[in-house]
Amino acid sequence: MRNLIKKDHISEPLERFEKLFSEAKKKEPGLAEAMTLSTANKGGVPSARMVLLKKADDKGFVFYTNLESQKAKEIISNPIASLVFHWKSLKRQVCILGDVEKVSDEEADQYFSTRKRAAQIGSWASLQSQKMENRSDLENGVTKFTADFEGSKIIRPTFWSGFRVIPKKMEFWEERPFRLHQRDVYKRTSKGWDFFYLFP
């Protein structure tokens, strides 16, 4: 039974994530940056959806969205969220819980400038999470803003920005035989990161 637990963890979870994410980007057939984002409203009613990780560093995990979307409204009213990465090719997943903050305008502008022009137009045209009567409503918006910005740089809409999940707990899960999976947990404390194992 001594080999059921691997004692090769890295003391810094964000460093460990970076190493694992780098491996996933090479081996995962789909989008390695796809993650489940779970939020809850003031009443505690949860909602979840897939979003794309756009930046991961020692500050946290960044994604972008329309500030009028359901997820943004829930984050603004209840700034805590969880993330889950599942990399089937690696038989690994990472679960993250943390507080959420809005990125700076400078950071949002910088990322927006790297998006493809069609995606920038889409940010203006889509009234994200609002009811849409017909698909043509979206298509007409794309046509309108394509014309409005013809021949000029597309600026970031004020209603579009990013959020950073600042982790206070991270769990690294690894599939093991007979469902005796390995679960390594890092929990942030005033002195740094506490590390412990969980039974599968």
In this prediction, residue 5 carries a pLDDT of: 55
Q: Could you report the per-residue pLDDT of 44-65, keeping only the tens digit for each? A: 999 999 999 999 999 999 999 9
In this prediction, residue 6 carries a pLDDT of: 58
Please list, in sequence order, all residues whose beta carbon lies within 8 angstroms of the beta carbon of residue 180, skipping any fewer than 6 positions away.
4, 200
d(CA 69, CA 57): 25
Spell out the alpha helix ranges (H) of 100-198: 105-112, 117-125, 135-148
d(CA 188, CA 97): 10
Domain boundaries, the chain: 2-108+159-198, 114-155
**Catalytic pick among 117, 179, 183, 188:** 179
pTM: 0.92
d(CA 107, CA 126): 22
In this prediction, residue 7 carries a pLDDT of: 57
Grade residue 1 by pLDDT with cuts at 50, 70 and 90: very low
CATH superfamily label, 2-108+159-198: Electron Transport, Fmn-binding Protein; Chain A (2.30.110.10)
Question: Is residue 179 annotated as part of the catalytic site, yes or no?
Answer: yes
Instruction: Please give the mean pLDDT across all residues of the chain.
Output: 94
Q: Which of 127 and 107 is assigned the larger pLDDT?
A: 107
- Residues 138-155, buried b or exposed e (16+ Cβ, 10 A)? eeebeeebeeeeeeeebe
Q: Do residues 126 and 138 lie in contact, with contact meaning Cβ atoms separated by under 8 Å?
A: yes
Q: Could you report the per-residue pLDDT of 120-166, keeping only the tens digit for each? A: 999 999 988 888 889 998 999 999 999 999 999 999 999 999 999 99
In this prediction, residue 118 carries a pLDDT of: 97
In this prediction, residue 128 carries a pLDDT of: 87
